[in-house]
A and B are shown apart, each in its own frame.
Chain A
């Protein structure tokens, strides 16, 4: 379980997360809905450990982030500016990342590339925006992460790609992973999520 307790974060005197309290459970998909700048992405960053809250705690499986652990044990994230290495193809990019935690082998990489519909041998620098987004999704799930954080996962994707994302979210949820998706496309969230939460001015509201 991922628990947020009184989490607040200020950036340049603006409160981007304002006293967030919520419990996210494994095996479910949560949607964060709200306009640009409402704090959806910051909330994902706080859960992933990329930003350090000014107040409050993020507790992951009983361990306090930035106290007991620096980052979640096994989290995957799709967030803006992911910047995979442009000089390598999709397979080599994932292979390089796989070396860090040694949780995925070559078969896992082939499988995930098939799941996201990316069979190209092109170098990433020649990828279209949609192909880059598919690869970003692949890197977030290929190590069978148990916390999956998607920020605008359907951006730049065609209809087929959007349906693939729906399918992936469903499969990951069934595998037992916690999936949190932030987007301002409410129709996407209704298709994928069990619970939809509203984010507005750094606050979290249940719909």
Chain B
């Protein structure tokens, strides 16, 4: 699928620039702030302003990886499928590409952080955990995008996924959650799973056992998305 190169470069530069600005202007208590998100006490303008630096890279990644399913159903994919190339294999290849994109995006943002940290910080287990979770949730978002592209055009899916990510983070950050009814909080976060990109929401920062549960949920989300995608792709008409 052809993408607007100018828009592509603009989103990439904007996302890098926002992150650099954030690291320069904030004395981050947490390592790798892009994967930690905002403190639970953050309110109003804090949230609005800081959404940009955590959400802009997601916009870029979602835009970058969009159209993969379209290429399989309406583009080059049909030349392969007509030559008996397995639809399952084709879909799995796309999922592998999504995984590589997720890991690369996490690595690039980490490098930006390290560059502006002027040296390699003492990376603790929590930072590693939050980076792992960031990559897995990114992957789940891309896999969700893959399923949606089987039923709607890529540009519409792009917009839906991005709004979902934005709303998830905004809602979870603002929701008055009660710690005594943990299971409600967990269900809301699982439904709005893009909010789990951030350590402040997935338990990395404050609650190790919560992190383990969410990590398992993330793995289940990814496997479910891939299975549903393959099943649906096999029954999809190729145009």
Task: List residues of A whose CB falls within 8 A of some B CB.
Answer: 45, 48-52, 70-71, 75-77, 79, 81-85, 97, 100-101, 139
Would you list the 8 A-B pairs with minimal beta carbon distance, nearest first?
Answer: A50-B238, A51-B237, A83-B75, A100-B83, A83-B76, A101-B83, A81-B74, A71-B84
Give bound CA distance, A83 to B238, whole Å. Answer: 14
Query: Which of B74, B75, B82, B237 interacts with A75 by CB under 8 Å?
Result: B82
> Which parts of B65-101 form the interface with A (CB within 8 Å)?
71, 74-76, 78-85
- The interface centre, meaning the residue of A71, A83, A101 with most chain B CB atoms within 10 A of its CB, is A83
Assess the B78–A97 pair: CB atoms within 8 A: no
15 CB contacts below 8 A, A to B, read A45-B237, A50-B82, A50-B238, A51-B239, A70-B84, A71-B81, A81-B75, A82-B79, A83-B76, A84-B76, A85-B76, A97-B79, A100-B83, A101-B83, A139-B79
Nearest to A80 among chain B residues (CB) is: B239
Q: Which B residues have a C-beta under 8 Å from some C-beta of A?
A: 71, 74-76, 78-85, 235, 237-239
Residue of A with least CB distance to B77: A83
Q: B79–A50 contact, CB under 8 A?
A: no
Which chain A residues border B235 with CB–CB below 8 Å? 52
Number of A-B contacts (CB under 8 A): 48
Q: How far is the CA of A76 from the CA of B82 in the complex (A)?
A: 8
Further pairs besides A45-B239, A77-B82, A82-B78: 7, Cβ < 8 Å: A45-B238, A51-B238, A52-B237, A81-B75, A82-B79, A84-B76, A85-B76
List of A residues within 8 angstroms of B82 by Cβ: 48-50, 71, 75-77
Where chain A touches its partner, the secondary structure class is loop
CA distance A91 to B78 in the complex (A): 19
For residue A50, which residues in chain B have a CB less than 8 angstroms away from its CB?
78, 81-82, 237-239
Please name all residues of chain B whose beta carbon is closer than 8 Å to the beta carbon of A139 when the two chains form the complex: 79
Contacts of B83 in A (CB 8 A): 97, 100-101
Distance in angstroms between the alpha carbons of A38 and B85 in the assembled complex: 30
Which of B76, B81, B85 has the largest number of chain A CB atoms within 10 A? B76
Which residues in A have their C-beta under 8 angstroms from that of B80? Answer: 97, 100
Q: Which of A70, A79, A100 has a CB less than 8 Å from the CB of B78?
A: A79
Contacts of B75 in A (CB 8 A): 81, 83
For A52, what are the chain B residues with a Cβ–Cβ distance below 8 Å? Answer: 235, 237
CA A77 to CA B74, docked complex, whole Å? 14
Report the bound CA distance from A139 to B82 in whole Å. Answer: 11
In the complex, residue of chain B having the shortest beta-carbon distance to the beta carbon of A69: B84
A101 touching B79, Cβ below 8 Å: no
Interface centre among B71, B75, B78, B81 (most CB of A within 10 A): B78
Most buried by A among B75, B81, B83: B83
Please name all residues of chain A whose beta carbon is closer than 8 Å to the beta carbon of B74 when the two chains form the complex. 81
Closest CB-CB distance, B132 to chain A, in whole Å?
A: 34
B79 surroundings in chain A (CB, below 8 A): 82-84, 97, 139
